[in-house]
Structure 1
Amino acid sequence: MTTRAELVVIGGGLMGTATAWAASRRGLSVLLLEQYGPGHARGSSHGSSRIVRRGYQETLYTELTGRSFELWRELELDSGTPLLRMLGSVDFGTRAYAESIAAQLAASAVEHEVLSAQEAEQRWPGMRFEGPVVHHAQGGTADAASAVTAFVEGAVRRGAVVRHGAAVASLDTTADGRARVVLADGDEVLAGTVVVAAGAWTGERLGGHVALPPLTVTQQDTFHFPRLDPAAPAWPSVLHERGAGIYHLAGGRNGGPDDDRKIGEHYGGLRTTASGRDGVVSSAARDRLVAYVKEWLPGLDPTPRNESSCLYTFTPNEDFLLDRVGPFVVCSPCSGHGAKFAPLIGELTADLVTGAGGTPERFRLAAHASGAS
């Protein structure tokens, strides 16, 4: 069976659903295709807790976080669903790292404070620090899984069609410049534009149609550790520039009744492919993070109560990838730090669909090809 669509979005994670929401709000007719069922855990968008924050070492990302927070609030209002927990955000590690974060926050007029390690430990008992420690209130967590639901429901209210279990077998172009999407069940869709927001599957989907930069897929493991004093005030989200880049945050719905701590490493995951990952959590990663908890987080039980994994898709310079070639739009891969920008990435992708300006040149294919950063 052959159908026609104005816009097809491939991928029902955060970026694909955000694109469907943004495009449908502009009046576009949208067909969203997701190869698995709702809420699956095979990609990068499952779970209830992702870090949101303003702190970055670069001006572009610091400024984009402000735009993204505005859109998160629009999504909450549109859906009637609370998605953000504004618990604050803390950065520390080397002095150069902390000073760089503080400088960027100051340049973007984001209110913040710089604490000594002792001051931070007094404010947040149960954590240890090395100074200086940068704290700002515009941070916390986003509920990723609920955001996907909110994006989908908002798009559907505006006429979007969502098909789960709709795996894409191939893409090609027609003689008149449209895109042809062939599904695994044999159905065919002809579309004016196809957005590929498939995360770790991006290379498989767009290979031969768009000259992508090298993309590295890794399996990243996270662990939940119970808090020894569940009644204590919630801790802020934390980035510790140490080792493989440690981050930890409130565990959300996946954190158990005491809102335990989700902890992971940004780098050092097992190289894999979207289809070839085994999903087995690394015992070495578990050992490293247990040792980290014992040294830096005495307010936690150092025995993890839960563990899981997700996929990161890194570009060589870790910048996002947003561009259009003919009828195909590549959306993200986000290099493990894109979740906080999801509603903004949806808007920027919709700009590429409609031809509106606004996509930073740094995210374009040419910038990736030249090694610009």
Structure 2
Amino acid sequence: MSAQTTAKHVVIGAGLSGAAAAWRLAQSGAEVLVLERDAPASAGGSSHGSARIFRYAYPDPFYTELVVRARGSWDELEAAHGATLVTPSGSLDFGAVRDPHRLARVLEGAGVEHEMLSRSAAQERWDGLAFDGDVLWHPGAGVIDAERSVTAMLDLARASGAEVRTGWEVVSVRAASTGYVIASATGETVHADQVIVAAGGWLPALLDGLDLPEGFLRALPDFQVRQENAFHFPYRDASDRGETPSGAATSWPTFIYKGEDIQTYGLPGGRDAGFGGQKVAEYNGGRVIRSARDQDARIDPANRARVAGFVGRFAPGLDPEPYAETTCLFTNVPHEDMIIDRAEGITVLSPCSGQGAKFAPLLGELVLDLVSGSGTAGERFRAVGQRFAEV
């Protein structure tokens, strides 16, 4: 290929967000080029592996209603791809800080099927778990296969004419007489009319290289990147082991626990750890790093001990000794919102605070609306002049 390429729309990053943007843009007939520093769903990003939670329960009705919209987008993606990407599991919410009764009221308002259970009733139904109060169950939750979802969306984008380049690390996006010149770490350049930045935990390191208006940059929050730890604990019951047939429900539910002393989440680990156990992690329990560039994949022993202690108290159906462990990235902003905003020809797509996976195919629709000028992603996701700048 020539040293410089011209493309109408360039998407930076081939994780869930970038793949969704590429799919929806290409589906609309737009010319799309995806530039990925490593490989799609890279282990150095936030979209690798087979286990992310799809759930409806939020204390804010805005997000629950957004999940309802996202479910329709997942249905469309699965139909186009021809295989299940969100395996049904149902989800449990418990713990005083999680406030399951408040969540139930939100689900009721959104028309999402759910059930409130007493501690004893929940214990009888899920004897592999232990509870410290009332429990919310909503059966519509599931487990997202993140890596396969990225592959599915990129395959559909390619089928609509998009190109995906791997091993192409973007270091700068500079305004030209028309559009933008995107430069790589090896000196290659691409000219684009529109740029969509979906760089995940790599975004903080890239911001200085983006030709964004000063006012927009000032309004952006301080992006906090954490190197999270996730642990796989084996099921004690042998019947819970083995690969789940495609499309079949998992044998264990996903769960979110928020108590006074620890906040955790758990879900069937899938092929990430041989289908042999439950993936459990402490929410925002990992160390803060400047950007994804500074990750070292080292497990924090203190974090392991806290999570194992939680499993020992609340998951008697699991062996509290992890048989596999890994690190992953969370990119946070104040108030745990997402940023989907545009300044001139650059769109910043950052579905932050560990919640982007469930919205993935819908994010592409929001970006398409924003870039095409046919709509906006919504005031809730704007950076300029919004509460995102507050600390």
**TM range, normalised to the smaller chain?**
over 0.9
- Secondary structure (helix, strand or coil) at the match of 1:128 reads coil
Structure 1 residues 213 and 371: alpha-carbon distance in aligned structure 2, compared to 1, 3 A threshold: closer
Structure 2 residue aligned with 1:16: 18
Q: Identity of aligned pairs, percent?
A: 41
- Secondary structure (helix, strand or coil) at the match of 1:300 reads coil
- Secondary structure (helix, strand or coil) at the match of 1:8 reads strand
Supply the RMSD in Å over aligned alpha carbons.
1.6
Structure 2 residue aligned with 1:98: 100
Structure 1 residue aligned with 2:206: 205
- Secondary structure (helix, strand or coil) at the match of 1:365 reads coil
Aligned 8 A contact 2:91 2:142 in 1: yes
Superposition deviation, residue 169 in structure 1? 2.1
In structure 2, distance between residues paired with 1:38 and 1:102 = 37
Superposition deviation, residue 244 in structure 1? 3.9
Deviations 1:243-302 (A, max 9, x none): 3421001111113243x1000011232011211111101101111111111111010111
> Once superposed, which parts of structure 1, at least 4 consecutive aligned residues long, lie more than 3 Å away?
367-373
Alignment partner of 1:262 out of 279, 286, 297:
279
Superposition deviation, residue 39 in structure 1? 4.1
Structure 2 residue aligned with 1:184: 185
- Secondary structure (helix, strand or coil) at the match of 1:85 reads strand
TM superposition score normalised by structure 1? 0.96
- Secondary structure (helix, strand or coil) at the match of 2:238 reads coil
Structure 1 residue aligned with 2:52: 50
Structure 1 residues 96 and 199: alpha-carbon distance in aligned structure 2, compared to 1, 3 A threshold: closer
Structure 2 residue aligned with 1:364: 382
Deviations 1:106-126 (A, max 9, x none): 110111110011111111111
Deviations 1:288-333 (A, max 9, x none): 1111111110101111010001111101111000000011000014
In structure 1, distance between residues paired with 2:308 and 2:299 = 14
Superposition deviation, residue 371 in structure 1? 5.2
Unaligned runs of 5+ in 1: none
In structure 2, distance between residues paired with 1:230 and 1:368 = 51
Aligned 8 A contact 1:317 1:371 in 2: no
Structure 2 residue aligned with 1:330: 348
Structure 1 residue aligned with 2:239: 231
In structure 1, distance between residues paired with 2:270 and 2:91 = 16
Tell me which amino acid in the other structure corresponds to 1:202.
L
In structure 1, distance between residues paired with 2:64 and 2:168 = 36
- Secondary structure (helix, strand or coil) at the match of 1:231 reads helix
Aligned 8 A contact 1:171 1:206 in 2: no
Unaligned runs of 5+ in 2: 241-249
Aligned 8 A contact 1:51 1:142 in 2: yes
Structure 2 residue aligned with 1:36: 38
Aligned 8 A contact 2:334 2:390 in 1: no
Tell me which amino acid in the other structure corresponds to 2:194.
T
Matches within 5 A, 1:105-184: 105-176=107-178, 178-184=179-185
TM superposition score normalised by structure 2? 0.91
Superposition deviation, residue 98 in structure 1? 1.0
Structure 1 residues 231 and 266: alpha-carbon distance in aligned structure 2, compared to 1, 3 A threshold: same
Aligned 8 A contact 2:16 2:41 in 1: no
Deviations 1:152-196 (A, max 9, x none): 1110011000000011121110123x1110112222111110000
Aligned 8 A contact 1:196 1:205 in 2: no
